[in-house]
Structure 1
C-alpha cells in the first residue's frame, strides 16, 4: 500500500509521543472534514490530553486531500495520510495503525454520526480500569432513518455474537478505544474492519461495551448499501475460520474430509460385500457416490496437511508468534 503522509507546516509543537492517536479513515468527505477536525480538536484540547489526528484519505476524488493539507497548516496535531488510490476502509485503518504514536488509539468515522465529545470519556474509563484493554461504542439510540441499515445491522450483530461467543450489541460502531499494544498485534486485510473487536479479542484484549451518542448524517452520502449484509456473512465465515483454525488447519480440512470419506468408505465396503455375493454393482449410482466421497475426503485431508506444513514454515521462519504475553502492571514487590 502506497501512502504519503503530509507533515504539518504551521506553528506549534507536535509531541513526539502524544498520549492519544485518533485514526479516521475517510473517502469523499470534503463536506464534513472541516467540522470533523474542528470538533475533534475542541474535544481533545478540552480534555487536556496530548493527541494527534491521523486523517487517512482513501483515494478521495472530491478534494478531501487538498482540504486536509490546508487544515494541517494551522494544526500541528493533524497528520493527513493520503493513499495512492481507494483501497477500502480496512486498508485505510491499517495505514493509520501503522503510523500511530500514542499510548491509546481511538477509531472514528468521518461522517460525524459518532460524537468526538465521547472520546475523553472512553479514555478516562481506560485510565480508571487497567484490567480493560479496549472499549467498543454502542449506538444505543441509533439515529439512522433507513430500516435497510438498522435491520441488517441488528441481525448481523446477533449472528456474530452467537457464533463467536463475544457478546456485543454493536460491532459496526466505528467509535472504539484501544491500548496501543492491542493495535500493534492486529493486521487488517480485505474488509475485516467490521470485526475489529473479534481481532482484538483474539489478540488478548479484554473488551467492554460503552453506550455512545449517535447523530443522523447531516452531510455527504452513506457509502453502504444492502449488499454489505451479504459481504458481512462471507467475512464472518473467514473470521471464524481464521480464529478457530489458523494454527491447526488440519482440524478444519481434515475433519471435513473424514466426515465425507467415512460414509464413502462404508458405501464401498457394502457394495464390495454385495459384489462378493454375486450381485452386479458396476452400473449403480451408489458406486459413483462412494468413490467421489472418498476422493474428495482424501483431497481435503491432504489440503489440511499442506496447510499444517505452511503454518509451521511461517512460524519457524520468524513470520510471527503463536501467542501474546499480557503486560501486567509492575507491583512494588516485583521491584525488590
Structure 2
C-alpha cells in the first residue's frame, strides 16, 4: 500500500490503526483471502510535522516503510515514489486524510478478479466535501480528458486505486517528470474498471486546490496525453485547408463570372487560403514529430514485460494487496 503524505500528522495514526487490522488477512465479500503486508508512507515535505509521525509509526511497526522526498514534488510524484518501493502483487494507493475506507479494498479486489482488470479506480457514490465550483471543474476536466484526450482505458480516475504490482512499478520506473500518473498507467494497462465506494468525511478540514493548481493539473493532463491533442490540431489543419480550397474555387468562379469587381481581391484571398491551409498541414506534421519526441522524453515504454496477467486471478488465495 502507498500513501503520499503532505499534511497527515492528525490523520495518519488512526488510518494506520485501521490498516493494521488487515495484517493477519481478511476475506473479500466474494470469499478471496488477502492481506496487507506493507505500507509505504511517502513524505512530500508538507507544512506540518508529518515527518515526526511517520518516524514514530515506522519505529513502532516494521511493516511500515518511509520514503523521504527532498522537497515538495506534489501528490502524483510522491505516489510514484512510493510505488517504486513496494513489493506486493497488488498496489493500493490511498489519501492520507481518512476519506478512503480500507474496507473497500476487498471489494476492489473482487472487481479486479471478476472483470479481469489490473487497474481498479474507486468511484465515489457521494459528493466530495469540496465547493460546488471545484466539483464542477473536476468533473469537466475529467470528462474532456476521457472523451477527447485519453490514450488508454477511458474510465474515471481517482487517487484511491488498485493496480497490479508489476504494472504499477514498471510505470513508476519509466515515467518522466510532468507526466500524469493515470495517463502513464493507461500506457501499460490493458483493462481498467471502477468500483463504487462511499467516501468518508476527512479527518481534518477539507482541502481545496486553488484555480492555478487546477489549471496546472489540467494542462499536465493535456501535455502527458501523447499525440492525441496534436492530432486534433492536425485534423483542424486539414479541415481548414479543405474549406479554404473550396472557398478559393468559389471565389475564382465569382471572379470569372464578374461577380467580384475589386481588382486583386480574389487573387489575394485565394493565395491566403491556399498558403494558410498548407501551413496548417505542415504544422500538423511538425506537431506529430514533436509529440513523438515528447512521448520519448516522458519515458513512455515501447513495451512492458510482466508475469502472467491472469495467473493471480486463478489463485484463490492472492498473497497481498
TM-score, normalising length from structure 1? Answer: 0.70
The Cα of 1:216 is off from its aligned counterpart by: 1.4
Work out which structure has the larger RCO, using CA pairs closer than 8 Å and 6 or more positions apart in sequence: 2
Q: Structure 1 pair 143/43, CA: closer, same or farther in 2 (3 Å)? A: farther
Q: Which of 232, 238, 241 is residue 258 of structure 1 equivalent to?
A: 238
CA distance 1:218–1:305, shift in 2 (3 Å): closer
Contact persistence 1:133–1:179 (CA under 8 A): yes
Shift of 1:178: 1.1
- The residue that corresponds to 1:218 in the other structure is 203
Aligned partner of 1:67 in structure 2 is 53
Residues 224-278 of structure 1, C-alpha deviation per residue, up to 9 Å, x if partnerless?
2355554454345335x52747xxx7x5565444334444556667778859x99
Pair 1:266–1:209, CA change in 2 (3 A): closer
2:167 to 182, 197, 205: 182
Corresponding position: 1:83 with 2:69 = yes
In structure 2, stretches of 5+ residues that fail to align are: 27-33, 313-321
Q: Kindly provide the CA deviation profile for residues 104-129 of structure 1, in whole angstroms up to 9, marking residues without a partner as x.
A: 00000001111123224433554x43
**Cα drift, residue 60 of structure 1:** 1.6
SS in 1 for 2:2: strand
Name 1:16's counterpart in structure 2: none
- Does 2:11 align with 1:23? no
RMSD, aligned α-carbons? 4.0
Aligned equivalent of 2:180: 192
- Structure 1 unaligned residues grouped into runs of 5+: 1-21, 331-336
Q: Give the 5 Å matches for 1:180-329.
A: 180-186=165-171, 187=175, 189-190=177-178, 192-193=180-181, 196=182, 199-227=184-212, 229-231=214-216, 233-238=218-223, 241-242=225-226, 244=228, 254-264=234-244, 280-281=263-264, 286=269, 289-290=272-273, 293-294=276-277, 296-297=279-280, 299-304=282-287, 306-307=289-290, 310=293, 320-321=301-302, 327-329=309-311
Deviation of 1:190 after TM superposition, in Å, equals 2.9
Aligned length: 295
1:39-50 matches, cutoff 5 A:
39-47=18-26, 49-50=35-36
The answer on whether the counterparts of 1:113 and 1:217 sit within 8 Å (CA) in structure 2 is: yes
Correspondences of 1:86-125 after superposition (within 5 Å): 86-125=72-111
| TM-score with structure 2 setting the length | 0.72
Query: Secondary structure at 2:21's aligned position in 1?
Result: helix
Structure 2 residue 20 is matched with structure 1 residue 36: no
Using the TM superposition, give the Cα deviation of residue 138 of structure 1 relative to its aligned residue in structure 2, in angstroms.
Answer: 1.5
Q: Distance in 1 between matches of 2:292 and 2:17?
A: 52
Give the Cα–Cα distance (whole angstroms) in 2 for the partners of residues 60 and 191 of structure 1: 21
Give 3-state SS (helix, strand or coil) of 1:73's partner. helix
